[in-house]
Chains A and B, each alone.
Chain A
Amino acid sequence: MHIPDGYLGPITCVAGFAAMAPVWAIASSKVKKTLQAKQVPLLAIGAAFSFVIMMFNVPIPGGTTGHAVGAVLVAILLCPWAATIAVSVALVIQALLFGDGGITAIGANCFNMAFVLPFVGYGIYRIISGNSPVTSVRRVIAAGIGGYIGLVVASLCAGIEFGIQPLLHHTASGQALYCPYGLNIAVPAMVGGHALIFGWVELLVTALVVKFLQIQEPSLLKTELEVVK
């Protein structure tokens, strides 16, 4: 889901950064208010976890590859705003040092994977969790489904960003200037792969780590409100 340089035209690139500028600003001020000094290592571990889990490419034989992002997990451990910061750090390093994701597409890629993904996934997690105890099975299932739906919705956003390019930018003769595939191909391709395979990887990763933390250190899974109680 790392959109490279050259696939998005200037309008979408600028829109990506324009959308992320206020998100990054709000995330900074939210994290400033809520992050305790002792949680700083968790933020660092979250960014590193997201980075390395994205290296585990999973194949669809003869077709394509994809990977989990781990953003919903970071959102559950800290908060969705902290996940925005952690995953953004990972995405920027991937783009700058490893050429994974374009530098012109950092805004759009962060929008999909560092904003839409943790917020949608965390929202689903909270809705399904309800008032269930921190160590309940329900929380594990909620985390998994949150991860799955978060990743699929993020892939839908990426598919739309790819797919609108032929509409936005083309030559007089109809040749595309950037991504050559329209919505009719890009959206099913992105959503299909993620709904079929990669979403399940995110589901497993998120659910398994939440299960592990339930056994090892359930206090990490408490939300802010539960901590106050």
Chain B
Amino acid sequence: MKITTKLWLGLGTLALLSPIGLYLPEKFKAGDAWGEWDGDKIKEFVGYIPAGFEKLSSLWHAAMPDYAFKGWEEKGLGHLSFAYIVSAVVGIALCVGGAWLLGKLLSGKQ
């Protein structure tokens, strides 16, 4: 088997295993990453929502926020794991497409 084939298979395996990255923080009640809290959480910590934060934080509405489908926030870990794997596959496909295109554009002009 060619090494690149093995690496592609590795990527696929990682996508399937990705819900581990969802499950472990949940299991150990790790909460959000430092500095990635929402406004309510900041208010809980320091007593107010910084004015600039309030304006900027809602600037962008991602299509699949937090690697899930919109409206799935309250669904169980099973549903979220499925959405996480879909996100991994979509993200991998877009990264491959984007980097491939850039690589072709750059390497083709030698």
Contacts and interface: CB of A to CB of B under 8 A. Distances in A.
A4 interface: yes
Nearest to B110: A32
Interface footprint category on B:
35 or more
Chain A interface size range: 35 or more
A32 B109 contact: yes
List of 4 A-B pairs having minimum Cβ-Cβ separation, nearest first: A99-B62, A59-B30, A6-B57, A177-B52
Which among B6, B21, B92, B106 has the highest number of chain A CB atoms within 10 Å? B106
Contact of B52 (A9, A28, A59): A9
A103 interface: yes
Contacts of A89: 95, 98-99, 102
B67 A100 contact: yes
B73 interface: no
Contacts of B53: 6-7, 177-179
Interface in B67-86: 67, 84
5 contacts: A5-B59, A32-B110, A85-B102, A98-B67, A99-B62
Given A7-B35, A65-B30, A176-B50, A36 B88 contact: no
A186 B17 CA distance: 31
A145 B63 CA distance: 37
B4 A45 contact: yes
A6 B4 CA distance: 40
Given A59-B28, A86-B99, A98 B65 contact: yes
Given A47-B95, A180-B50, A52 B100 contact: no
A197 to B, nearest CB: 10
Contact of A62 (B24, B30, B88, B96): B30
Contacts of B21: 55-58, 67
Central interface residue in A51, A59, A213, A220, by most chain B CB within 10 Å: A51
Interface string B42-57: 1001101011111111
B33 A2 contact: yes
A41 B12 CA distance: 15
Nearest to B33: A65
B98 A47 contact: yes
Nearest to A82: B103
B14 A93 contact: no
Contacts of B67: 55, 98, 100
B86 to A, nearest CB: 11
Contact of B32 (A65, A67, A86, A178): A65
